[in-house]
A and B are shown apart, each in its own frame.
Chain A
Amino acid sequence: MQLVVNIMVLAAIYALIACGYVLVYRVSRVLNLAHGELMMLGAYLLLATASLFAGNPLTALAAALGLSLVVGILVYVLLMRKMTGEMVLAAVLATVALGVLLRGAVILVWSAQQQYPAQALGLANPPLELPGGARISTCAALLIVATAVVYAALFVFLRFGRWGVRMRAAGQSPLLAAQRGINLHAVYALAWSLSTLTGSVAGMLIALDSGLTGTMVVIGLKAFPAALVGGLDSLLGALAGALIVASAEVLLIHYVDPLLSDVVPFLVLIAMLIVRPWGLFGTREELDRV
């Protein structure tokens, strides 16, 4: 039972992070390898607002979420906008460079020590007893709820929202979308900010649950196979991929070797790339386009 809960929590983490990869890739064909760092930055923003609005956790959370939206827009306007029209690889490497830059900057501003935003906010994190004798921390439960909410919202937004439709159109054919009067830069900026927002939500909840250091980036990187296994341009795929990667990881750690933790997602990824490179729900033509 505990195993199932662990899988659910890890899958929720991966899914919440993976949807950021999917959003940006689907709209602009850029693989954002700085997503882990952006997620970490979101968590540190919460730390910053926590000291500003001490004793007022909800305000702090809202402020941090707002800031992370701004960060996403800034990333696009200041950096990724310059990379449009360059080779896809150049854009990906730009995100890698951004990641390195952010990692250094975060350590400079907030130091490399482990921090606990939950304490700064004055939040407790009591474990909940589930039927069947399993335990789950409040934050982890919140994380699962948040993942469900985010995914539901994204599905509705992309399906029915005016901007959601624009985003899908821009992803399918930037040229045609631009000719129909869709502001591509606005759409891309929106995709980046949404992606940063969802990543930050994940980062904040993980930080509230288990503290915050620079090693959080690794989680972001491990979520990326989840996105690819499901198919880089499919949200549904990200959910399925997260579930597959998380169950493989938890089961292998439990039954084989704890050291495997860092490598399992990538083993799953390699297997998927050999069998079905475009992922479970991905579009096949994607492969030739990049």
Chain B
Amino acid sequence: MRANPRASGYFRTDYRQDLALVQTRLQRVAVAVLGAALVAFPFLASPFQLDLACQVFLAAIGSLSLMLLTGYAGQISLGHAGLLAAGAFTAGILFREVGAPFWITLPAAAAVGALLGVVFGLPSLRLRGLYLAVSTLALHFVVVYAGGEYETRRGFSTGIVIDPPSLGGLSLADGRAWYFVLALAAGATLLLCLNLLRARTGRAWQAIRAHETVAEALGIGIAGYKLLAFVISSAITAVAGALFAYYRGFVSVEAFSLFLTIQYVAMIIIGGMGSLLGAVLGAVFVTLFPYWIESALLALPGARRYAGEVFAVNYAAFGLVMILFLVFEPLGLVGIWHRVQTYFLLWPFRRRPAAGSRR
């Protein structure tokens, strides 16, 4: 993991401190405050804001899994929407065809995702970079086609309706309940990623990303770890897709267009490659962005006239923001955040980046 700037005076003196996820007192306080804020939020927020928060959590699960694959293992995937679709359709089909409850469909989605992960990952053993991205893109179209085919063949041409998950008479229909479930799911994903990344697996991935040949010389089984990256990432993604299906109560191929993939890729770029915090920040940014644009547009004079064009403005603004980040801030929001941190840590001195240090 990247060495975060830390205040002076903090030294780790035993292994327990080294293993702890939350280390300094400031961090403990920050985590506690964040947790309290997250718990308090649904009791203060409007239903609309609650829905936004749920969307953010769902997006965060997806972007975390993509970050594992692309940001850490260095395997580029443009098939993310296809994997989400696979998870959503697994849940939808199992529910429709055999009436399976969620505690079967979610693991089933994970299994399908893992299986597809092997399929998506196989090209990575031969292909690198661009060609890998292209092969995952092709698989995206295949998965979406299969979903569409199922819809038309079975006569659900408008989509599959799914009932909210229920357990022993309790049904998950309330927005607030959904909020907590999704927050827990996102938190669990984050924890899983954190622990994966500091364990052997994650370090092997980062070695592969840095230099494949060197990683192999270090005794890392390249093929196995690449496939593992695809399998784990795809399984998480598919579960996110299944959760999405339950949350919406509705599955349709239209929701899983290429644009969704682009959005997820944008999340990890805008957030900052190679950082879990970046994945979360990117998910928040990209999910809320259209709503900011919409409210900004409506605040302009003569809002009525733009009402029909919000969608197009969104598209254009989204592309523009993505370009701006790629050109001017390749490290993303996390890069900005680290710069702010460094500024205050070093104050009143300034850090001068070494010439040519920009990646």
Contacts and interface: CB of A to CB of B under 8 A. Distances in A.
Tell me whether A and B are bound partners: yes
Interface of A: 31, 79, 82-83, 86, 88-90, 92-94, 96-105, 107-108, 112, 221, 225, 228, 259-260, 262-263, 266-267, 269-270, 273-274, 277, 287-288, 290
B319 interface: yes
Given A100-B262, A288-B128, A262 B322 contact: no
B100 interface: no
**B contacts with A: majority SS:** helix
B129 A290 contact: yes
A288 B212 CA distance: 12
A104 B316 contact: yes
A83 B141 contact: no
A159 B311 CA distance: 46
A112 B326 contact: no
Interface residues of B, number: 42
Contact of A270 (B133, B135, B266, B317): B135
Nearest to B311: A107
Contact of A93 (B135, B269, B315): B269
A273 B319 contact: no
Given A98-B319, A266-B138, A267-B142, A108 B313 contact: yes
B123 interface: yes
B138 A108 contact: no
21 contacts: A88-B129, A88-B130, A89-B129, A90-B330, A92-B133, A93-B269, A97-B319, A97-B322, A99-B319, A103-B315, A104-B313, A107-B312, A259-B149, A260-B145, A263-B141, A266-B141, A266-B142, A267-B142, A269-B138, A270-B139, A290-B130
A22 B327 CA distance: 24
Given A103-B315, A104-B313, 16 more contacts: A79-B327, A90-B330, A97-B326, A99-B319, A100-B319, A101-B318, A101-B322, A104-B314, A105-B312, A108-B316, A112-B312, A259-B148, A266-B139, A270-B135, A270-B139, A273-B127
B154 to A, nearest CB: 14
A106 to B, nearest CB: 8
B358 to A, nearest CB: 10
Closest 5 CB pairs of A and B: A101-B319, A104-B315, A104-B316, A100-B319, A97-B322
Contacts of A101: 315-316, 318-320, 322-323
A97 B269 CA distance: 11
Given A93-B265, A97-B322, A259-B149, A274 B142 contact: no
B134 A94 contact: no
A79 B313 contact: no
A207 B130 CA distance: 31
Given A88-B129, A89-B130, A259-B148, A94 B141 contact: no
Contact of B145 (A104, A107, A259, A274): A259
